[in-house]
A and B are shown apart, each in its own frame.
Chain A
Amino acid sequence: MLPGGLHASDYLIVMPVAICLLFGAVLLMLRKRIDWHPFFAIPGFLALFVVDVLLLLKVAAEGPQTMMMGSWKAPFGIAFTVDMMGALFVTVAGFVGLASAIYAVGSINRTERRYGFFPFLFLMMGGVSGAFLTGDLFNLYVWFEVLLIGSFGLLILGSEHEQLDGATKYCFLNLVATTLFLITTGYLYGLTGTLNMADIAEKAGQMENDGALFTIAVLFLVAFGMKAAAFPLNFWLPASYHTPRFVVSALFAGLLTKVGVYALIRVLMMLLPPERAELATLIGWVAALTMLVGALGALAQSDLRRLLNYLVISGIGIIMAGLALPAADGGLVDAAAAASGQATGATGSAMLAVGLSGSIFYALHSIVVMTALYLAAGMAARVAGTSSLRSMGGLWRERPGLAALMLIFLFAVSGLPPFSGFWPKVALVRGTIGADLPWLAAMILLSGFLTTIASARLFALAFWRNRPAPGEAPPQMRSEFMAEGEPSPAFSLLPLLILAVFVVAAGVTPQWLLAWTDVAASGVVDPASYVESVFGGGS
């Protein structure tokens, strides 16, 4: 116990952000000593991950945690509030951050380090962690901007023509999306007079539903849908995510779109549940079309990374399916859902929690698997000297270890057992059928089928077949593929192995993670403990 009444472990909630910003600042100051950067960065990310895990365990043991910035009283000050969902997301983010940092030591050359790769990486991770931990809507906007600044820096690393082109589109679209988020925040503030999420959840619940909150819900859906690359606002993603370095693409694909999804779940499911229920059909269509556009787009690509871009989009659609279930608590359970709910011994609200749990699980799985796929693709492209599927081939023979890992990740992204993508899809299919949405369940299965074909095509073209004769298609040469020498396995295969451990563990024994995502989902559907942590025990 410290003199001011807080325990040392209470500070865990701000540590992820503080660690990221401190290490980022120190590394930026040491810009002349780039050889030291890895020796700071790896322990930094290790510390970040350890703190994240400790925070997760604390939340699992004690429920949601709150710290008021500057000791202001809720709801006036900025609150950092972490519940199970935030803790799970921030932990997995720290996990892939660590793996990517290890990978980056071997793949980011000296010039790019001098441009500030590791500082920007820390800045982006700080923004991502802050977005997952904050309990204040305006503060969420600020963290979105912090992670955007970090991601801009990473995106233009190298300053090739392709990158400038991709970065221009990415920057404008993301700026418009965050501005839309800010507009909506302004409206919500004008309506409720507060920005604290717990306070909004209480006040919005008591408000007359006169259409104003519905408008706000629609605006949030557009803003975060744009960040998450949901159809029809997804076109910026395939235009930009294949242009930066592979390790940067990996983190973007794993984390940034998921921050949008997280915000969508947080705002729509927790703050505005009745409005979300009215929007459920629309969200269902958006989810279904996002899945299909992603899977079909992946089938049509001839470049390894652009194919993966579309798989990211498809994953977003599947996560959003869990947000499309009707009948939140509040007596809106329609007859059919209640009937099927009784048949399985569950109410509509419980089905909602099942679906949401599946969504959260799938989002966590998607963070890890998409990062792993891009990192593995980076290694494959480096070995082959190109990332065009027209001229790749024969990697199965040249790199059996890499090929086996790639196969695991492709199985996982397609949702095949026994890997991590299978169980959340089971939960989502159960939730959608239980809520009387068989067409959405069919869409999930169809997109899974198409994703399997796309993954099989990727594997067959890049790994399985013999390498085509070089004369047919001149490989496109980019400086990244001609990096000096091959990195040691510690910096290439090790991070992939770390990520594969999660994929296999969550696939073979999903109970531990399912138990946590169930807690997370019920905490979002019924935010009583979240509210109590802000107003009851907050310092």
Chain B
Amino acid sequence: METALSVLVGCLFTVSLYLLLSKHIIRMLLGVVLLSNAVNILIFTAGRIVSVAPPFIPQDAETVSDVANPLPQALVLTAIVISFSFFAFLLVLAYRAYQDLGTDDTDEMRVAEPENDGLPPLGY
């Protein structure tokens, strides 16, 4: 099971890196989504897949054994929440940038660093 998940994580990383290398922001956004999903599966796998029983302590027991590791689930949940809100923010930002700058090609986004800015002052 771990092997299959590791291969899946590798595939997701490959695809997301390929998308992130694109010049177009919309593809980069898709790459970010895939990247965060890949990380979630990675953390889940790193916590070892030991059991399918949920980590709940029954009403009449004090401790519990042979259940799934709850910590990676907590970590993945936190990571999902964070990556979801970041993606929402990036979506709005990219949309605004597309509307205001008229392009989603990062090569053409040169407002902050203008091309042909000329030489700096050479004398005093």
User: A-side interface residues toward B, CB under 8 Å?
Assistant: 138, 142, 145, 148-149, 152, 156, 159, 161-169, 171-172, 175-176, 179, 182-183, 185-187, 189-190, 195, 238-240, 242-243, 300-302, 389-390, 460-461, 464-465
Q: A240-B112, A302-B118, A465-B124 are in contact. Are A164 and B20 (CB under 8 A)?
A: no
User: What residues of B have a CB within 8 angstroms of the CB of A243 in the complex?
Assistant: 112
Q: A179-B36, A460-B124 are in contact. Are A189 and B25 (CB under 8 A)?
A: no
A242 to B83, CA, bound (A): 27
A186 touches B46 (CB 8 A): yes
Looking across the interface, which residue of chain A has its beta carbon closest to that of B44?
Answer: A186
Looking across the interface, which residue of chain A has its beta carbon closest to that of B20?
Answer: A176
Count of residues in B whose CB is under 8 Å from the partner chain:
42
Nearest first, the 10 closest Cβ-Cβ pairs linking A and B are A190-B46, A302-B120, A186-B43, A165-B111, A166-B112, A165-B112, A164-B97, A465-B124, A186-B46, A186-B42
Q: A165-B112, A167-B93 are in contact. Are A186 and B39 (CB under 8 A)?
A: yes
Pick from B48, B72, B90: contact of A175, CB below 8 A: B90
Pick from B35, B111, B117: contact of A179, CB below 8 A: B35
Pick from B47, B89, B100, B118: contact of A164, CB below 8 A: B100
Pick from B39, B45, B120: contact of A389, CB below 8 A: B120
B106 to chain A, nearest CB (A): 8
B39 touches A179 (CB 8 A): yes
Count how many pairs of residues, one from A and one from B, have CB atoms less than 8 Å apart in the complex. Answer: 108
**Given A156-B93, A182-B43, 16 more pairs with CB closer than 8 A:** A138-B75, A142-B78, A159-B96, A165-B97, A167-B97, A172-B28, A172-B32, A179-B39, A186-B75, A187-B46, A189-B46, A240-B112, A300-B120, A302-B119, A302-B120, A464-B124
28 contacts between A and B (CB under 8 A): A148-B86, A149-B89, A159-B100, A164-B96, A164-B101, A165-B101, A168-B93, A169-B106, A169-B112, A171-B93, A172-B28, A172-B90, A175-B86, A179-B32, A179-B83, A182-B79, A186-B43, A189-B46, A190-B45, A195-B71, A238-B113, A240-B112, A243-B112, A302-B117, A302-B118, A302-B119, A390-B120, A461-B121
A168 to B117, CA, bound (A): 21
A1 to B41, CA, bound (A): 45
User: What residues of A have a CB within 8 angstroms of the CB of B101 in the complex?
Assistant: 161, 164-165
Q: Is B94 an interface residue (CB 8 A)?
A: yes
A301 touches B120 (CB 8 A): yes
A363 to B111, CA, bound (A): 31
Q: Is B51 an interface residue (CB 8 A)?
A: no
A190 touches B47 (CB 8 A): yes
A191 to chain B, nearest CB (A): 8
Q: Is B82 an interface residue (CB 8 A)?
A: yes
Q: Is B85 an interface residue (CB 8 A)?
A: yes
A271 to chain B, nearest CB (A): 17
Q: Is B67 an interface residue (CB 8 A)?
A: no
A246 to chain B, nearest CB (A): 15
